[in-house]
Chains A and B, each alone.
Chain A
Amino acid sequence: MPSDTPLLKVDELSSHYGPIQALFGVSLEVKQGELVAIVGANGAGKTTLLHTLSGVQKASGGQVFLDTREITKQKPHKIVAAGVCHVPEGRQVFAPLSVDDNLRLGAYALRKEKEWVEQELDNIYTLFPILNEKSAQSAGTLSGGQQQMLAIGRALLGRPRLLLLDEPSMGLAPLLVEEIFRVIQSLNDQGVTILLVEQNARAALGIANRGYVLETGKVVLSAGADELLKDEAVRRAYLGY
């Protein structure tokens, strides 16, 4: 259940690609246990935002806090070790490596905790039996949906306090989209705090507690998910009716 402690606090975050500014002072919060969606069109800056949170993209202004600890200028591996795990856009599995290796690399920061890793690996294989079946195959041979499961499993092996998901439904058949969203929902029910980025606004807001609307690098709207789903402007721009 959502509590009042903000796990993630983003304050006036900006980011540039060379001279081009992609984020213009984005502020948002994710409370412990929440599932928060960020919706926005193509090129709105959703991926840039998540990359900046994970430290693979430099912030040019503003701050990011995990609990009360500032992580703005931390190296990516330190941010992962602090419990921010990222399922990147387009899955980004390690294609030549086996499914099992991909998952184990997800626990890279926790590699000394062997027992925990084996236990969690079992859990992931139970959650996604198809990955268990194909554990020895190279990740590149999996279908898009299976790669998405692998990318999620890999992030879960990082023992996330905050799970960042970047367009997990992208390029998947409707049935698979439903399944992936069911998994995300159930992870949240089990207590994983989630920040979900989607172009598929309806599905994302359907499972989220709250949502933010991102347009050309700025937050233009934030409200409870139900409110956003009913909002006239949101419906016209993102829900298509």
Chain B
Amino acid sequence: MWDQILQFLITGVTVGATYALVALGFAIIYNASDVVNFAQGEFVMIGAMTAIALSAGDGGLPLPLALIGAVLITIAVGILLQRFAIAPARGASVVTTIIITIGASIFLRGVALLVWGKDIFAMPHFSGEIPLHIGNATLLPQNLWVMGGAALLVMGVHYFFNHTIIGKAILACSCNRTAAHLVGINVGLMMLVAYGLSAFLGAMAGILVAPITFTSYDAGVMLGLKGFSAAILGGMGNPMGAVAGGLALGLIESLAAGLISSGYKDAIGFIILLLVLFIRPSGMFGKVSAERV
């Protein structure tokens, strides 16, 4: 029994780390531009799929190079999304921008379908598939890559927003755009940085977890929704809350799937989302405020 629960916890933290990165991407974009970016999940898919495509076959790049290439391509997609879909709609209502990002996600998925078809792809594990044992529970080296990678990325993001002038400039844009202009911040550029950073986090999530979960052109849909749920759970616009929300969601899902039934795994996430929206719309860690609707 305890071994089993340990196993569920390992799975939960791994999945939760992925959700956390996606949720962090949601929070960063929401903070910078008041946009809920429903194309966030597509960043994950694009990261994983391009990494696989770049490394596959005889002419493929060595894995590290393929990963770097995939990350750069995903960042470019994030920047293009901001520049050509979000920026022109500056000042539009929240609903309008949500429709735009949903449209963008459908478009990106369509392109992925055209390029890669409906096949399911696997990526090689970074450092082999020999499991490690903790008691009777097992752990793949890739699980450690996911957890460690996510932890490093979260710390990096925390450092960026708390200890660098560019990070603070992005925060300044989100709390007072006019004043940000007036102190000489290039607000348009900061938006590109925020979207690029979110795309980077999405790509990293996709790349880290792809060897474990397999991936296909529509893998971003579910991950995007889970990341969104986690971001809501943590209080939209609270980056570290989003991370906690992601870990919590991953753990709850994994325990529910193991202890109740795996059929309920996805439902659990959305039940939690609805409950949070009903009971505490500002999230577990969000400040209670009526300002942002």
Contacts and interface: CB of A to CB of B under 8 A. Distances in A.
Interface of A: 54-56, 75-77, 80-81, 85-86, 88, 92-97, 101, 104-106, 108-109, 111, 154-155, 158
B183 interface: yes
Given A93-B176, A97-B172, A158-B184, 20 more contacts: A54-B181, A56-B181, A76-B182, A76-B187, A77-B184, A77-B185, A77-B187, A80-B182, A88-B178, A94-B172, A94-B176, A94-B179, A97-B168, A108-B165, A108-B183, A109-B183, A111-B165, A154-B183, A155-B183, A158-B183
B243 to A, nearest CB: 19
B171 interface: yes
B242 interface: no
Contact of A56 (B168, B175, B182, B186): B182
A81 B94 CA distance: 33
- 10 shortest A-B CB distances, which residue pairs? A80-B184, A109-B184, A76-B181, A92-B179, A86-B182, A77-B186, A77-B184, A108-B184, A56-B181, A94-B172
Interface in B155-205: 165, 168-169, 171-172, 175-176, 178-187
Contact of B183 (A75, A95, A105): A105
Contacts of B176: 92-95
B58 to A, nearest CB: 47
Nearest to B165: A111
Contacts, number: 68
A85 B183 CA distance: 7
A76 B187 CA distance: 9
A92 B182 contact: yes
Instruction: Please classify how large the interface on chain B is, using the bins under 10, 10 to 19, 20 to 34, 35 or more.
Output: 10 to 19
Contacts of B185: 77, 105, 108
Given A97-B168, A105-B165, A105-B168, A76 B179 contact: no
A207 B185 CA distance: 31
A154 B171 CA distance: 16
A105 B169 contact: yes
A80 B169 CA distance: 15
B61 to A, nearest CB: 36
Contact of B181 (A77, A94, A95, A154): A77
Contacts of A96: 171, 175
Nearest to B179: A92
A88 B179 contact: yes
Contacts of B183: 80, 105-106, 108-109, 154-155, 158
A111 B172 CA distance: 15
B175 A75 contact: no
A154 B169 CA distance: 13
